[in-house]
Structure 1
Amino acid sequence: MSKINYPKKILLGEAFGFAVIILMLWVDEIYDLPHRLLGAEPTAVNTVESLFETAIILVLGLVVLTISATLANRLQRSDTEKSRLFGVISHDLRNPFANLIGNADLLRKNFNTLSDEERRTLSSGIFESADKAHDLLKNLLDWSEIQLHRSIPTATVCDLRELVDECIDHVGLTATRKQIVITNDIPGGTLVNVDETAIRSVLRNLLSNAVKFSKAGGVVEVVGKGRGGKVRVSVADRGIGMSRNELRSLFRMETRLSKPGTSGEVGSGLGLLLSHELIRRCGGKLKVRSDSGKGSTFSFALPKVKGQKPAAKVSTRAEENREVNLQD
Structure 2
Amino acid sequence: MANWQAGSSVRRNLIALIGLILIAGFATSSVISYQVSKASLREALIGNELPLTSDNIYSEIQRDLLRPVFVASMMADDTFVRDWLLDGEVDPGKMTRFLDEIRAQHGMFTTFLISDKTRRYYHFKGISKIVSEDDARDNWYFRVRKMKEDHEINVDLNAEQNDALTIFINQKVFDYQGNYLATTGVGIAFDSLVRVVDRYRENFSRHVYFVDKAGTVMTRSEGASITEENIHKAEGAATIADKLLAADHSFFEYERNGETMLVSARHIPELNWWVIIEQEEASALAGIRKSLITNFFVGLFAISLTLVVVLYAVNWFYARLEQKAVEMAQLAEHEAGLNKRLKYELELKDKFFSIISHDLISPFSSLLSGTHLMSERADNYSKEELADIAKKVHASAEDVFSLLRNLLDWARLQIDGASIDPEDLSLRDVVRKNISVLAPPAREKDIQIVNSIDAASAYADPLMIDTVMRNLISNAIKFTPPGGKIDVSAQEQDGETRVTVRDTGVGIDPDRLDTIFGLDQETSTLGTGGERGTGLGLALCKEMVERNGGKIWIESVKGEGSQFHFTLRSRRP
TM class by shorter-chain length?
Answer: 0.5 to 0.7
TM-aligned CA distance change 1:162 to 1:212, over 3 Å:
same
- Whole-angstrom CA distance in 2 between matches of 1:169 and 1:98: 29
Instruction: Select the residue among 503, 506, 512 that pairs with 1:240.
Output: 506
Amino acid across the alignment from 2:444: R
Matches within 5 A, 1:266-277: 266-277=532-543
Amino acid across the alignment from 2:546: R
Residue of structure 2 equivalent to 1:137: 404
- Whole-angstrom CA distance in 2 between matches of 1:115 and 1:157: 54
TM-aligned CA distance change 1:147 to 1:107, over 3 Å:
same
Residue of structure 2 equivalent to 1:199: 465
Whether the 8 Å contact between 1:249 and 1:255 is mirrored in structure 2 is no
The Cα offsets for residues 58-115 of structure 1, whole Å up to 9 and x where unpaired, read as xxxxxx9997543323322332232222111111112333344455556667999999
- Check if 1:84 corresponds to 2:84: no
The Cα offsets for residues 30-52 of structure 1, whole Å up to 9 and x where unpaired, read as xxxxxxxxxxxxxxxxxxxxxxx
Amino acid across the alignment from 1:183: V
TM-aligned CA distance change 1:191 to 1:124, over 3 Å:
farther
Instruction: Select the residue among 179, 182, 185 that pairs with 2:449.
Output: 182
Matches within 5 A, 1:202-241: 202-241=468-507
- Check if 1:281 corresponds to 2:550: no
TM-aligned CA distance change 1:111 to 1:98, over 3 Å:
same
Whether the 8 Å contact between 1:192 and 1:302 is mirrored in structure 2 is yes
Whether the 8 Å contact between 2:520 and 2:535 is mirrored in structure 1 is no
What secondary structure, in the 3-state scheme, does the structure 2 residue paired with 1:183 have?
strand
The Cα offsets for residues 286-325 of structure 1, whole Å up to 9 and x where unpaired, read as 111122222211111233359xxxxxxxxxxxxxxxxxxx
Residue of structure 2 equivalent to 1:157: 424
- Stretches of structure 2 that go unaligned for 5 or more consecutive residues are 1-330
TM-aligned CA distance change 1:303 to 1:119, over 3 Å:
farther
TM-aligned CA distance change 1:256 to 1:275, over 3 Å:
farther
Residue of structure 2 equivalent to 1:294: 560
1:260 to partner: Cα distance: 1.2
- Cα-Cα RMSD: 3.1
Residue of structure 1 equivalent to 2:413: 146
The Cα offsets for residues 217-239 of structure 1, whole Å up to 9 and x where unpaired, read as 11111111122333211111122
- Whole-angstrom CA distance in 1 between matches of 2:362 and 2:332: 45
Whether the 8 Å contact between 1:77 and 1:254 is mirrored in structure 2 is no
- Whole-angstrom CA distance in 2 between matches of 1:157 and 1:117: 50
Structure with the bigger RCO (C-alpha within 8 Å, sep 6+) is 1
What secondary structure, in the 3-state scheme, does the structure 2 residue paired with 1:226 have?
strand
1:116 to partner: Cα distance: 8.4
TM-score (norm 2): 0.38
Matches within 5 A, 1:20-31: none
TM-aligned CA distance change 1:111 to 1:254, over 3 Å:
closer
- Whole-angstrom CA distance in 2 between matches of 1:158 and 1:104: 43
1:128 to partner: Cα distance: 3.9
Amino acid across the alignment from 1:261: G
The Cα offsets for residues 198-248 of structure 1, whole Å up to 9 and x where unpaired, read as 011111111111111112211111111122333211111122222232112
- Whole-angstrom CA distance in 2 between matches of 1:167 and 1:115: 36
Residue of structure 2 equivalent to 1:171: 438
- Stretches of structure 1 that go unaligned for 5 or more consecutive residues are 1-63, 307-328
Matches within 5 A, 1:10-49: none
1:121 to partner: Cα distance: 5.9
Whether the 8 Å contact between 2:370 and 2:389 is mirrored in structure 1 is yes
Greater Rg by CA: 2
Whether the 8 Å contact between 2:374 and 2:386 is mirrored in structure 1 is yes
What secondary structure, in the 3-state scheme, does the structure 2 residue paired with 1:253 have?
coil
What secondary structure, in the 3-state scheme, does the structure 2 residue paired with 1:93 have?
helix
Amino acid across the alignment from 1:78: E
TM-aligned CA distance change 1:254 to 1:113, over 3 Å:
closer
Greater strand fraction, Structure 1 or Structure 2: 2
Q: How many residues align?
A: 242
